[in-house]
Structure 1
Amino acid sequence: MKPYLLTLALVIATSVNSQNETYTLKNISLNDELSQYGVVHVNDGIVYYSRYKVNSFGSVERNSGNQQIFTVYHGEMTESGDIINTKEFKSSDRFVFNSSTAGFSKDGKYMYVTTNEKKRGDVYKYDDKTRNLRIERGEYVEGKGYMNFKPLHFCDERYSYGHPSVSPDGKYLYFTSNIPSAKGPTDIFRVEILGNDKYGKPENLGVKLNSPRKEMFPFISADNTLYFSSDRAKGIGGLDLYRAEMQPDGTFGTPELMPAPINSEADDMCFELLPDGKSGYFSSNREGGKGEDDIYYFTINN
């Protein structure tokens, strides 16, 4: 997996046994031999996603340790699910190594992004080999875009925090972390958004949802279903996609392994259900793809 871990489109349709859903998948035209993943929809058809940072010569940029750098791009979503008019996300706040997997408040006012523990211009306590991740929040300024990024106050530099997703009601931020209360290498947590740039205490979502293995890339849909990836036992590939419904008391039920073709024998991650509830995106490095990780657009047909 990564630190955050124009050919004909591949289209697959299959029936699902448990939910009687039929999915159609499309390997979108944006994909190439590099890595694209983690689509998130904002508003008015604008989407953000992550990929390798490419310089003006078309080469992938690398840091001082010769590691490939990831960054965030944005583009427009077409009716067929393709992403066009893509540009690298620019901000006055420049991150040292990587930026990736963004999340947004429902009104689009705030952007949460996964970054490395350091930024250019900071005075560092650790050397340049530090690679811990943290979540930073920026605000939308009319005519200037997202800027004024600051790390969330609960992000301890000794641990990693990433893959932010805001709940539909705007009350909680879901994320992945390896802080000491994690049950496995990485667990899914949430923190209450109190307003005025204040947050509650990170809450582990519990042993029913988190396993002794990795849980990553949470996404909370409009109907309060939590989608995430895990390499837990009894899966069918590397990282598999799961979903768990929120109960009346705010906890989550037992996660359900999502069916093929959403899951494969490879790594499947970054599930995003669009506002229509009938289509969305996920990412995979499955056989038959174009690059290291590809973005797939899906529709639910019934």
Structure 2
Amino acid sequence: MRKIYMICVLLFGLQMQAQQTKVAKGDTQFNDLAYIDATETYLKVAKKGYKSKELFQKLGDSYYFNANLKEANKWYTELFALGQPIESEYYYRYSQTLKAAEDYKKADEYLDKFYKLSANDIRANLYNKQRDYKKTIEKNSGRYEVKSTTVNTRKSDYGTAFFGDKVVFSTSRDTTGFARVQTRWTNQSFTNFYVSNRTEENDLTNPERFSKTINSKFHEDTPVFTKDLKTVYFTRNNFTEGKIGRDEKQVINLKLYKAVLNAEGKWENVTELPFNSNAYSVAHPALSPDEKTLYFASNMPGTNGQSDIFKVAILGENQYGTPEKLSNAINTEARETFPFVTQDNELYFASDGHQGLGGLDVFVTKINTDGSIGPVVNLGAPINGPMDDFAFIIDNSTRKGYFSSNRNGGKGLDDIYSFTEKEPLVIDCKSELAGLVTDAETGVILPGSTVSLFDDKFNLLSKVTTDGKSSYQFEVKCGQKYYVRAEQAEYETKEQNVVLPDSSGKTDLPIALSKKLKEIKPGTDLAKTFNIKIIYFDLDKSNIRSDAQADLAKIAEIMKEFPTMKVDVRSHTDSRQTNAYNEKLSSARAKSTIDWLVKNGIEKERLSGRGYGESQLINHCGDGVNCSEEEHQMNRRSEFIILKM
């Protein structure tokens, strides 16, 4: 028996060693960005029952980075089932795969956890500010009619660009020659450019190879052409003049290239752009309407996440400025990629950092004349869905265009879809914040008041003086939170916050100021005069609430300032009990209020009071009337009426 036991231990040890060797092999393939090969290795190990945090992380990542979110979901589920501490990034990735599985409730649960773990993360803060993102997406949905195009194959077809009345796109369908060069990332052929006709129905037909001088044996994708169709910017693997460039990890990154059309109609002078680098990728170019700015995606130093959108000035023939990253209104710690800019300076881009339906979603924003960025808006379904949707382009004049997706029901790995925009999506949201500044007691207007506008972090944005009609106004952004502060001599400064709606329009925010010096005399209610909260008691209770004690302290201080003042404390209830019960309860409340004031330094002989029960309601909430808890609570109050000064 001992020999049998020793043999079993030996075999088990060899098996574990073999499994660990396979995991190490998978790690090497993973780090080389050979995600399909790594997946096969990890799968073999996992199927034999081997479990570890690192195995499930990398198995999930292999699928996640290869856009197979449903399979990634399976392994991230196994990862979290281990019950071990996990880096916060995996909460976000898991939420994305849950969206791909259309389990949005659970996805939001993990986004909540991600926010708690990563409160400084741009994605976490975007989610926290847009917790109703599904309602917003639903409101934006249904604006497009989408159809699959006939150029799609079982391979990858994606990344369209307008080329006159034709479209140029990228495809991994068979390459020419005796050898089929493949990428280790997907085990698919590298992509080349094809050109296709556009039909009246916006379909793509008769695809053929675009250019022998531009197509190489490595990747070419996502071109953009100048309006005269004589210059093209495009993405290619780091391959120039027959030489391959690699970074320090031997990875072949992506670079941007430019080519020009000669008099014979041939593309020539394929030139690498000067801000490329062997150390990082630069890809997916887009041109501004005036063709003086080139937009692109990159993971160059300074990038927030996996890729950000940058811009660079085109200064002249083969002369460029310094690339600038777009603001964090667009870029997150995830992927922002595939930019496209319309003639109206609308920027469309794909992201899985902003809240969407799963994978990459297509978003749009307005680039303002001062370079600032407007609200970022999700295009909604059917453009976006649970999987990756990207490479969106649109013809402004016809409102027709194309986008790419790996959604279910497609023919290949990625497919090209055509669309027609049936209803425009309003993104250039303009809003106005305005109001009057008045005296809180008399309602008299207060011209010459100073009104200041602050953002949600209390940065001063603007300051104005009210006109002769005591009005003010600010140009503001839709959907944003602001603070407005009003000041006037002899009045207390007042500050209010307001959250603007997501739609264009005018928001009225009146501001009523209270005088610093307040006239008091017999008959004055100190609670109203000094803007003291009048609600002190919970239902069926007579004890002073903790949130009321600070306000009662104000009454005490006023009475100490005027030592001959006498005050009558009048306590009231709501109508939800019998008259007898309410009289008894209100009397107890008046007594507890007086007792508190006496305990805090006010002579008992200066105070009187009684309970009025429900006999003096201040609203319509009498017996049998259906009212909210807030309305009933307004009647549970105490008043402080001056009897003598």
TM-score normalized with structure 2 length: 0.42
1:62 to 181, 191, 196: 181
Matched, 1:271 2:271: no
Give the structure 2 partner of residue 9 of structure 1: none
Shift of 1:285: 0.9
Q: Secondary structure of 1:190's partner?
A: strand
Q: How does 1:54-133 map to 2 (within 5 A)?
A: 54-55=174-175, 61-63=180-182, 68-92=189-213, 95-122=216-243, 129-133=250-254
Give the structure 2 partner of residue 155 of structure 1: 276
Superimposed CA distance per residue, residues 12-41 of structure 1 (whole angstroms, 9 cap, x where no aligned partner): xxxx85458631111011112111111110
Shift of 1:275: 3.8
**Aligned mates of 1:20, 1:87 — CA distance in 2:** 34
Matched, 1:186 2:307: yes
**Aligned mates of 1:229, 1:49 — CA distance in 2:** 17
**Aligned mates of 2:239, 2:288 — CA distance in 1:** 27
**Aligned mates of 1:282, 1:269 — CA distance in 2:** 6
Are the aligned partners of 1:95 and 1:119 in contact in 2 as well (CA < 8 Å)? no
2:347 to 201, 205, 226: 226
1:50 to 160, 163, 170: 170
Are the aligned partners of 1:96 and 1:120 in contact in 2 as well (CA < 8 Å)? no
Are the aligned partners of 2:348 and 2:362 in contact in 1 as well (CA < 8 Å)? yes
> Tell me, which stretches of 5 or more residues in structure 1 are unaligned?
4-15
Where in structure 1 do 4 or more consecutive aligned residues deviate above 6 Å?
125-128
Superimposed CA distance per residue, residues 218-246 of structure 1 (whole angstroms, 9 cap, x where no aligned partner): 00011111000011152211011111111
Are the aligned partners of 1:225 and 1:243 in contact in 2 as well (CA < 8 Å)? yes
Give the structure 1 partner of residue 157 of structure 2: 36
Matched, 1:235 2:356: yes
Are the aligned partners of 2:140 and 2:378 in contact in 1 as well (CA < 8 Å)? no
Distance 1:232 1:125, change over 3 A: closer
Shift of 1:104: 1.2
Structure 2: which amino acid aligns with 1:290? K
Distance 1:181 1:125, change over 3 A: closer
Are the aligned partners of 1:21 and 1:300 in contact in 2 as well (CA < 8 Å)? no
Superimposed CA distance per residue, residues 163-187 of structure 1 (whole angstroms, 9 cap, x where no aligned partner): 0011111110000000112111100
Are the aligned partners of 1:205 and 1:251 in contact in 2 as well (CA < 8 Å)? no
Distance 1:242 1:121, change over 3 A: same
**Aligned mates of 1:217, 1:279 — CA distance in 2:** 18
Distance 1:56 1:175, change over 3 A: closer
Q: Cα RMSD over matched residues?
A: 2.5
Superimposed CA distance per residue, residues 246-268 of structure 1 (whole angstroms, 9 cap, x where no aligned partner): 12311212311111001001100
Give the structure 2 partner of residue 13 of structure 1: none
**Aligned mates of 1:300, 1:251 — CA distance in 2:** 26
Are the aligned partners of 1:139 and 1:148 in contact in 2 as well (CA < 8 Å)? yes
Superimposed CA distance per residue, residues 67-98 of structure 1 (whole angstroms, 9 cap, x where no aligned partner): 52111111211111121221112233553421
**In terms of mean alpha carbon deviation, does 202-211 or 126-135 score higher?**
126-135
Distance 1:180 1:47, change over 3 A: same
Q: Of Structure 1 and Structure 2, which has the larger fraction of its residues in helix?
A: 2
Shift of 1:122: 3.1
**In terms of mean alpha carbon deviation, does 290-299 or 248-257 score higher?**
248-257
- Greater C-alpha radius of gyration: 2
Q: Secondary structure of 1:237's partner?
A: coil
**Aligned mates of 1:258, 1:170 — CA distance in 2:** 25
Q: Of Structure 1 and Structure 2, which has the larger fraction of its residues in strand?
A: 1
Superimposed CA distance per residue, residues 273-302 of structure 1 (whole angstroms, 9 cap, x where no aligned partner): 014251110011111111111111000124
Are the aligned partners of 1:171 and 1:194 in contact in 2 as well (CA < 8 Å)? yes
**In terms of mean alpha carbon deviation, does 251-260 or 214-223 score higher?**
251-260
Give the structure 2 partner of residue 6 of structure 1: none
Give the structure 1 partner of residue 367 of structure 2: 246
**Aligned mates of 1:295, 1:130 — CA distance in 2:** 28
**Aligned mates of 1:142, 1:211 — CA distance in 2:** 44
**Aligned mates of 2:175, 2:217 — CA distance in 1:** 15
**Aligned mates of 1:101, 1:64 — CA distance in 2:** 17
1:26 to 118, 132, 147: 147
Matched, 1:200 2:334: no
Give the structure 2 partner of residue 255 of structure 1: 376
Q: Secondary structure of 2:240's partner?
A: coil
> Tell me, which stretches of 5 or more residues in structure 2 are unaligned?
1-64, 68-136, 424-645
Give the structure 2 partner of residue 167 of structure 1: 288
Are the aligned partners of 1:93 and 1:148 in contact in 2 as well (CA < 8 Å)? no
Structure 1: which amino acid aligns with 2:167? V
**Aligned mates of 1:146, 1:2 — CA distance in 2:** 33
Aligned length: 288
Give me the identity figure in percent: 35
**Aligned mates of 1:79, 1:111 — CA distance in 2:** 25
Distance 1:279 1:93, change over 3 A: closer
**Aligned mates of 1:254, 1:99 — CA distance in 2:** 32
Structure 1: which amino acid aligns with 2:169? Y
Q: Which has the higher contact order (CA 8 A, sep 6+)?
A: 1
**Aligned mates of 1:115, 1:250 — CA distance in 2:** 29
Are the aligned partners of 2:142 and 2:382 in contact in 1 as well (CA < 8 Å)? no
